[in-house]
Structure 1
Amino acid sequence: MTSTAVLPLHAIGAPLPADPGAATVRSGFVELPAEAPYVGRARRFARCLLRRWGTGADLADSAVMVVSELAGNAVRHGAGHLIVAITSEAAVVTVMVTSRAPQRTGEADLGDPCERGRGLGIVAALADHLTVESTDAGWSVRATLTEGSAAGHGAASDP
Structure 2
Amino acid sequence: MVTSVLLQTSRRSSAQLADVPRARHFTTSTLGAWGLSADTVDSAALVVGELAANAARHGGAEMILTLRLDGRDLSIRVLDRDFTGTPTADAVPDDESGRGLLIVRALTDAVEMSTGPDGTAVTARLSTEQG
Give the TM-score range, shorter chain: 0.7 to 0.9
* 2:129 counterpart of 1:143: no
Give 2:14's aligned residue.
33
Larger Rg: 1
* 8 Å contact from structure 2 (residues 58, 82) kept in 1: no
**Matching residue of 1:133:** 114
Q: CA deviation at 1:89?
A: 2.2
* Distance across 2 between alignment mates of 1:27 and 1:129: 19
1:55 aligned counterpart, secondary structure? coil
Q: Is the 8 A contact 1:129 1:145 kept in 2?
A: yes
| 8 A Cα contact 2:10 2:66, kept in partner | yes
1:67 deviation in Å? 0.6
Matched residue, 1:63: 44
Q: Which runs of 5+ in 1 are unaligned?
A: 1-18, 104-112, 149-159
Please say if 1:75 is aligned against 2:59: no
Structure 1 distance, partners of 2:96, 2:19, is 20
Q: CA deviation at 1:64?
A: 1.0
Q: Between Structure 1 and Structure 2, which shows a larger proportion of helix residues? A: 2
Size of the aligned set, in residue pairs, is 121
**Amino acid aligned to 2:49:** S
CA contact (8 A) 1:96 1:142 kept: yes
Which blocks of at least 5 consecutive residues in structure 2 are unaligned? Answer: 85-93
Aligned-residue RMSD, C-alpha: 1.9
Instruction: Confirm whether residue 86 of structure 1 aligns to residue 73 of structure 2.
Output: no
Deviation, structure 1 residue 101: 4.0
